[in-house]
Amino acid sequence: MTAWFIIDVEGAEKVLRAFVTGFLLGRRDRGTVLYGSDCDIAEASLRERIRDLLAGGTHNALFAPRGLAGELRQALLEGGAGTALGVLAFAEVTRARSSFAVEAYAEDVAARVKTELLAELPPGVTLEGLVETEEREPDHRGTVLYAPVHGYTYRVHGTFTGPLPGVVEMARRARDLEFARVRPLDLETATVPDD
């Protein structure tokens, strides 16, 4: 499993995206990068290294796999100053987590939740603390949302844990589902010493 790294970059996000796009176009193997503003990251998880990440300020998080992250960091250190970009920190993302909860009142919605969130997880991602319940009330029919008692109720909650790209994917899948509540990603990082 490839390790992922975070590069804390100071500067305008538009400039950073343009810089990274140009950098990737210049490589034969373009690779994949993720931007913190696209990942719904909990601010508290990066408090020690990145302030105001989600506030739209001048701090941006850039995520990339091991080899690409090192090359991007070096390119930003060498050419970023000319574009008003600067590297503030570089760390390995050791684990990502995202919790979700769903409460649904229709069996077809429950089936979709089971298929999208519980059936197939990306490589390395685990589902911790899974609690799943189904209740049927034979005296009540229908799926009226605001009814005091429903004929069918499905509840599930848990936490996806693992490599950053897989957890980002699962959080996206959960957000795409009706009735799902998803907490922002929580990241655990380890500082990488300067070379």
Bridge partners of 3, per DSSP, are: none
The domains found in the chain, sorted by start residue, are 4-94 (3.30.70), 96-187 (3.30.70)
CB-facing half-sphere around the CA of 169: CA atoms within 13 A? 15
Give the contacts of 93 (CB within 8 A, at least 6 positions apart). 3, 4, 5, 6, 63, 164, 187, 188, 189
Give the contacts of 32 (CB within 8 A, at least 6 positions apart). 64, 65, 68, 165
Mean pLDDT by 10 residues, the chain (195 residues): 89 92 87 89 56 57 94 91 87 95 91 93 96 83 56 93 95 91 93 74
Q: What local confidence, expressed as pLDDT, does residue 83 receive?
A: 86
Q: What local confidence, expressed as pLDDT, does residue 139 receive?
A: 65
Q: What local confidence, expressed as pLDDT, does residue 113 receive?
A: 94
User: Are 87 and 77 spatial neighbours (Cβ–Cβ below 8 Å)?
Assistant: yes
Q: Select from 127, 105, 110 the least CA-distant residue to 171.
A: 127
Q: What local confidence, expressed as pLDDT, does residue 16 receive?
A: 94
- What are phi and psi for residue 177, nearest 5 degrees? -90, 145
The CB density around residue 11, as the number of other CB atoms within 10 Å, is 20
Please give the single-letter amino acid code of residue 63.
Answer: F
Q: What local confidence, expressed as pLDDT, does residue 148 receive?
A: 58
